[in-house]
Structure 1
Amino acid sequence: MADSSGIARIPGEDGDHVTYCRICEALCGMVATVKDGRITKIRPDRDNPHSRGHICVKGPALADLAYDEDRVLHPLKRVGGPGEFEPVGWDEALDDIAKRLAASVERHGAFSFAVNSGNPPSMGWPSSLASVLFQQAMGGSRTYTPASEDISTPVLATELMFGTHAFVFPDLATCEHLLIFGSNPLVSHGSLMIAPRFKEDLDEIAKRGRVIVVDPRRTETARKFEHVSILPEGDVWLLGAMLQVILSEDLQQRQFIEQHCAGLEGLVAATSWITPMLAEPRCGIDAETIQQLARDFASAPRAAAMGRIGICRGGFSTLTNFFLHALNVIGGKFHTPGGVGWGHGGSATDEQFAGIFPGARHGAIPSRVSKLPSVWGTQPSTTFLEEMITPGEGQIKSLLVVGANPVMSMPGGPALVEGFAELDLMVALDLYMTETSRHAHYLLPVTTALEREDMNQFFLNHMVRPFAQYVPAVIKPVGETRGEYEILRDLAVRMGRGESFGNMTPFEMADASLQKGIEGQKGLSLAKLKEHPHGIMIESGRWAFDFKKRLGHEDGTIHLWCEEMQAEVERLRAKPARKPDVLQLINLRKLRSINSWMHNVEALVRTDAPKLLIHPTDAAARGLNDEDEAKLSTQWGSLDVVVSLTDDIRPGCVAYPHGWGNHGGWKRANAKGGGNLNAIVPQGPQSAEQLSGMSYLEGFEVEVSAA
């Protein structure tokens, strides 16, 4: 029944249901109108104090996702080759999975079981817990996520400098000078930070001072503010040179460094040779501009430097992110209004992470064959195939895939089918029969975000302005779909391994965490959130905690240098000069896409298509005109692409989005064409950054020729 405000509370009840989007990290508030048990409209929630009436085009598409004719609505059992399924009952499916999985693990050991989880379930609280708790129930530790295509290097850089995995991000609310490296927040809406009205925040910062975007492409964000064009993979040289300027000109904040930091001498020695003149040809920015960027940043009282995926996936990405942290710290921009720091969140999130991600420390779970290190408890994607096909103790023989599509999303993804064929059992939990899940022995259908209750517990510590919200499900599950938590808890119980899920529901766990945290002592609880359906701003603000309590190093300081970074600097010093005539590829984020899993929504893909962005000079040298068909090639393969000429892209650089080239059980997605970029990116463990295991997906060499 509806509450006193007229808001519907029962799933499927006619009327307006308050909810929020779980496609990306912005978590924008929405209102879904339901009639006769179906969603008829989704609009922005203008009473949500966090997003304040903002949503992008993808939010309303969640209704189309729920009612997609290609969506899997019943459990499926494979009866022939890949993609050949027939319906099966839930009890029959789970009983058989439990039996076969138990037999495989008994035969090959707990280490032979692996989990691959993806982005869609990670955006919900119960769903994000499900695969982690099931892995614990199995006694295993082989987990693959998008981390090594996304966040491994900033996570590792943060661990090495601060001794913790909590993300550092800028105080957009009061910043006056913002440097953005490799991020396009007007399209991505922010990542590793939550600020649903990012555009307005940037506009306000520009009014107060400056927004400077460093990128090889004049992105949507760069067009609106100041753009500094840089060569792909040049950020490590730019940041190193900026540090050299600040340290050599004595512009650092000595008092903060002396009080809270260790290793300054190592940082000074490691960057002293990276002068602006040396960096100029390596980053494509003249020395005078580098000097001015450094001096302006150091002198701005409320300044912050942020980076994202564009600086996370190159050949020196951990060092780049470490330099970025160092720039903020020595410049006096850490844990201060207008600068960078951790989120407040008002919960016991740090303690949650310690329990949810065992083995989170760098290298705690190295890969079996190549010995690449784990980061945040996850394995590098480039090791996935060899771990399935290399015989021996610990060979992956059973696999659970939860909302992931590694055939489309991992480097060399199409080759993974060779490994799938070696498995005793592969089980996929998904919305669709994807390029990956078509190879599973069982495909179990899951609910969409609008068919489940949820809260933003997992993201509380990532918020520029702390905010908490709980929402009930908008509609009842469509067909026979179930939530990931429900499915995997049931499976664990059938195997006699249900202890890891405990006696508390995910929301009881979240409530206990809320009440234990800073804001819980002031009355924040799940019950209070249920009384405020549009959510509650946490008024204590961003800096209402002692940052020293979050430093994880034994000496209680920020480490400005370490042995791992010294080795990376020596490797950087030995790097050969860039070839002048080579093309380098960078990735491209598109507003209507989210990796590979929303391409079947007609409202999103109707006017969208993947194209290779290339500068007119580079196109002319290759005999290409706008809209021509071309071949994009690397040593690992080639794709047929359509080129789009633009001077927004720097000469010597091309850009193409990943996640296209679908060929699963979704008709619209298949019809959109394009190519699977991950089929031709650098592949295999040797191609990854060896320190972090991060895939090499930005700045690698390509060739473009007429088709």
Structure 2
Amino acid sequence: MTIQTHKRTCSLCEATCGIEVRHEDGQILSIKGDKDDPFSKGYICPKATALQDLHEDPDRLRLPMIRRGDEWHEVSWNEALDYTASELMRIRDQHGRDAVASYLGNPNVHNYGNLLFGPMLLKAIGSKNKFSATSVDQLPHHMASLQMLGHQLLQPVADIDRTDFLIIIGGNPLASNGSMMTVPDFRGRIKGIQARGGRVLVIDPRATETARVADEHWFIRPGQDIQLLLAVLHVWVHELSAQLPALPDYVTPADLSAICAGMTPEHAADRTGISAEAIRQLAGDWLSAESASCYGRMGVSVQQYGGLCQWLIMVLNIVSGNFDREGGLMLSHPAVDLPAILAARGSRGNFNRYQSRVRGLPEFGGELPVSVLAEEILTSGEGQVKALVTMAGNPVVSTPNSTQLVTALDSLEFMVSIDYYLNETTRHAHVILPPCGPLERDHYDLIFNSFAVRNVAKYAPALFPPDKGAKEDWQIIHGLLKRMGRGSLKTRLQGRLVLGIMGWMKPSGILNAMLKRGPYKLTLKQLKAASSGMDLGPLRPCMPERLFTRDRKLHLAPDLYLEELERVRPQLLAKNVEDLVLIGRRHVRSNNSWLHNSRRLIKGPRRDRLMIHPEDAERFGIAEGGTVEISSRVGKLVTEAEITEEVMPGVVSLPHGWGHNVDGVRLETAREAGGVNTNVLTDDARLDGLTGNAALNGVPVSVAAVSR
């Protein structure tokens, strides 16, 4: 055969970079950036090459597996699906619908077949105990969008290609390639801001990769971002009010003075480590910039004030006149407009319709905070979780207090995982249903086009045919649904009809229908012909038409935020600051836990070392490269120390997603890489009090040198 080139989108992170895969006779020869892609323009990060490793990985499961005792056995699809459906229905019938829980991992949003068919499986199960990676990640973003704009998926992003002043708080987009902001080649876009005379400021407890290329970096104590945000608002209201623009008519006003009461720059300086002078300078520069965008990410979200922080970031962008305008915070117009589609079906998002059984934490968007998953399994009584369905997720590595979750998973009556790896989580399952790999299915970005800094659309058919008998994720879900019929005759007939139509259309047919009804009236045929993708133009103003609130107003200060702010104000005014706290960190060659079996990505120096400032290393007697024990309320780890001024005093940093050397895991490359699971230390009791999102950053810890 001759060498061929296949163009598609890299599906491994949120940047959605265009790639060219050169292949011959079923073998991948190279993966490079697609220079004709109108969005990424040839840029890729090292993760793209992992697509080849995933495709060729000998550890990837190809056939269904059933565990009998401690041994795994390959079985036919019919046997695996029959057994799974039978066990799920048995437990549901014996213990009630809520006895069957589910957990969805991040890779689900990179797979549009899962997004279309997965909700049908969860609806068929009918349980309130639904969990996902959302509540250890971006839940505060969605809460702000729901409460202020009327839809949880209506996520504003920085118009980075036209902004003059970009403020990044608690984010490291050079390592993450953006996040809740689809933006390939972030380094190139920073250079673009600087080339046109703009400025980039990074505010973070660590001098990150992004901080190194920014114009300025300020250290901030973890968990104190809310103090900085309120202090900036205080300066605007009490010192620079004459410079504040009038709010647009579609924005409901708020008492800004009451919101920031007592939160002076001097007060914030005491708690953040940023001087009052610098805070005033930031406030003035923000207002005087031709255009400005503030972007807050993981460091802002996964902390005890995450919900308030993401709301305040929105408030500051709006009050400064930088919302829905070029260079400010704007909304994308994707070819498949998910918020509009879901809103037309009556689904905008929900909050606190019900609470978790044990701790009474609120639901959001039909899901409960994953921090309560273990206790819902381990606590006896009516509604106790007896079975679990996981889809493309590894909560043992990615959620807090993982030691407790391991105990919980071991106690389940039944567990099934739709996953192609035997990892730290799926080793507890009774059945593993492995889908085909990402190059063996077609691809379209339903979610990330909605968060893109430019309007684009791109579709790619499967590169390789799947192995004989292999199934895509949606086909596995379809097979389970056909075996799980319940309810009245009418309900069963309606369900079979819908399921039959969707199975006949397949994800590509459903996608084609959504594209035709979308704002650009595209067809799948048109996208197939544009193999490098279609440029649909820059972000454009859309307010108030794009609002989904019932009164068509943007609600600047919803009551639940004001009530939460008053609840925590005594904490904010107090002077107690933890002596030593733990934060996470990202690396461009990593993406949570699911890429650690890629030999291309894990090579190089060890990346799970504990970063510690020289002052802290000296007071605790820790040497460079020495063995150190880190302890928290819920666990302890032993790893290697890296003494560096990259972190501020009083802060230590460990990356997320490692720790694969446990019994029963079949990830040979990841096991050899070693590493420790930082979520042994994170605390399931530490949450954002408003949203229930896990507070994985700012965890109080102690450290001690360990004699070899």
In the superposition, the TM-score normalised over structure 1's length comes to 0.93
CA distance in 2, matches of 1:71, 1:480: 15
Q: Does 1:116 align with 2:103?
A: yes
Question: Aligned ranges for residues 309-324 of structure 1 at < 5 Å?
Answer: 309-324=298-313
Q: CA deviation at 1:555?
A: 2.9
| Equivalent residues of 2:16, 2:448 under 8 A apart | no
Aligned to 1:98, which of 76, 85, 90? 85
Secondary structure of 2:388's counterpart equals strand
Question: What code does the residue aligned with 1:634 have?
Answer: S
Partner in structure 1 of residue 667 of structure 2: 666
| Equivalent residues of 2:455, 2:535 under 8 A apart | yes
| Equivalent residues of 1:359, 1:365 under 8 A apart | no
CA deviation string 1:99-124 (max 9, x = no partner): 22222222222222222111123212
| Equivalent residues of 1:435, 1:665 under 8 A apart | no
Change in Cα spacing, 1:581 to 1:233, as seen in structure 2 (3 Å) is: closer
Q: CA deviation at 1:418?
A: 2.8
| Equivalent residues of 2:254, 2:557 under 8 A apart | yes
Q: Does 1:190 align with 2:189?
A: no
Question: What code does the residue aligned with 2:523 have?
Answer: S
Change in Cα spacing, 1:355 to 1:613, as seen in structure 2 (3 Å) is: farther
Secondary structure of 1:642's counterpart equals strand
Aligned to 2:206, which of 217, 224, 229? 217
Partner in structure 1 of residue 491 of structure 2: none
Q: Does 1:204 align with 2:192?
A: yes
Partner in structure 1 of residue 489 of structure 2: none
Question: What code does the residue aligned with 1:222 have?
Answer: A
Q: Does 1:360 align with 2:357?
A: no
Question: What code does the residue aligned with 1:672 have?
Answer: A
Partner in structure 2 of residue 264 of structure 1: 254
CA deviation string 1:539-591 (max 9, x = no partner): 3x3116x3213323333222222332223222332117455671111111011
Change in Cα spacing, 1:463 to 1:382, as seen in structure 2 (3 Å) is: same
Partner in structure 1 of residue 622 of structure 2: 624
Partner in structure 1 of residue 490 of structure 2: none
Question: Aligned ranges for residues 539-688 of structure 1 at < 5 Å?
Answer: 539=537, 541-543=538-540, 546-575=542-571, 577=574, 579=576, 582-609=579-606, 610-662=608-660, 663=662, 664-684=665-685, 687-688=686-687
Partner in structure 1 of residue 704 of structure 2: 705
Partner in structure 1 of residue 220 of structure 2: 230
Q: CA deviation at 1:71?
A: 1.3
CA distance in 1, matches of 2:347, 2:122: 11
Aligned to 2:25, which of 36, 41, 44? 36
Partner in structure 2 of residue 8 of structure 1: none
Partner in structure 1 of residue 327 of structure 2: 338
Aligned to 1:249, which of 239, 260, 276? 239
Aligned to 2:458, which of 464, 469, 481? 469
Q: CA deviation at 1:415?
A: 2.0
Partner in structure 2 of residue 379 of structure 1: 368
Question: What code does the residue aligned with 1:192 have?
Answer: M
Partner in structure 1 of residue 515 of structure 2: 514
Q: CA deviation at 1:253?
A: 7.2
Question: What code does the residue aligned with 2:83 have?
Answer: D
CA distance in 1, matches of 2:413, 2:595: 30
CA distance in 1, matches of 2:649, 2:456: 43
CA distance in 1, matches of 2:345, 2:603: 40
Deviating more after overlay: 22-31 vs 365-374:
365-374
Question: What code does the residue aligned with 1:680 have?
Answer: L
Change in Cα spacing, 1:525 to 1:578, as seen in structure 2 (3 Å) is: farther
Partner in structure 1 of residue 119 of structure 2: 132
CA distance in 2, matches of 1:113, 1:538: 43
Question: Aligned ranges for residues 351-500 of structure 1 at < 5 Å?
Answer: 351-354=340-343, 360-478=349-467, 480-496=469-485, 498=496
Structure 2, unmatched stretches of 5+, are: 486-494
Aligned residues: 686
Q: CA deviation at 1:364?
A: 2.6
Q: Does 1:150 align with 2:147?
A: no
Question: What code does the residue aligned with 1:344 have?
Answer: H
Secondary structure of 1:538's counterpart equals strand
CA distance in 1, matches of 2:103, 2:181: 24
Secondary structure of 1:364's counterpart equals strand
Aligned to 2:230, which of 235, 240, 264? 240
Secondary structure of 1:304's counterpart equals strand
Q: Does 1:74 align with 2:38?
A: no
Deviating more after overlay: 122-131 vs 295-304:
122-131
Q: Does 1:281 align with 2:270?
A: yes
Question: What code does the residue aligned with 1:241 have?
Answer: A
Secondary structure of 1:431's counterpart equals coil
| Equivalent residues of 1:412, 1:680 under 8 A apart | yes
Partner in structure 2 of residue 9 of structure 1: none
CA distance in 2, matches of 1:378, 1:281: 37
Question: What code does the residue aligned with 2:640 have?
Answer: V
| Equivalent residues of 1:402, 1:429 under 8 A apart | yes
Secondary structure of 1:590's counterpart equals coil
Q: Does 1:65 align with 2:54?
A: yes
Please report the RMSD computed on the Cα atoms of aligned residues, expressed in angstroms: 2.0
Q: CA deviation at 1:13?
A: 9.1
CA distance in 1, matches of 2:578, 2:12: 39
Change in Cα spacing, 1:650 to 1:674, as seen in structure 2 (3 Å) is: same
CA distance in 2, matches of 1:247, 1:349: 37
CA distance in 1, matches of 2:355, 2:575: 32
Q: CA deviation at 1:357?
A: 9.7
| Equivalent residues of 1:145, 1:378 under 8 A apart | yes
Change in Cα spacing, 1:557 to 1:623, as seen in structure 2 (3 Å) is: same
Deviating more after overlay: 101-110 vs 689-698:
101-110
Q: CA deviation at 1:512?
A: 2.0
CA distance in 2, matches of 1:349, 1:99: 34
CA deviation string 1:312-346 (max 9, x = no partner): 01111111111100100000000000000211213
Q: CA deviation at 1:371?
A: 1.7
Question: What code does the residue aligned with 1:148 have?
Answer: S
Aligned to 1:174, which of 150, 162, 167? 162
Question: Aligned ranges for residues 43-58 of structure 1 at < 5 Å?
Answer: 43-58=32-47
Structure 1, unmatched stretches of 5+, are: 1-11
In the superposition, the TM-score normalised over structure 2's length comes to 0.93
- Percent sequence identity is 34
Partner in structure 2 of residue 7 of structure 1: none
Question: What code does the residue aligned with 2:141 have?
Answer: P
Question: What code does the residue aligned with 1:202 have?
Answer: I
Q: CA deviation at 1:93?
A: 0.9
Question: What code does the residue aligned with 2:176 have?
Answer: S
| Equivalent residues of 1:583, 1:702 under 8 A apart | yes
Q: CA deviation at 1:457?
A: 2.5
CA deviation string 1:13-68 (max 9, x = no partner): 96211122111001111111222222232121122111111111110111111111
Secondary structure of 2:362's counterpart equals coil
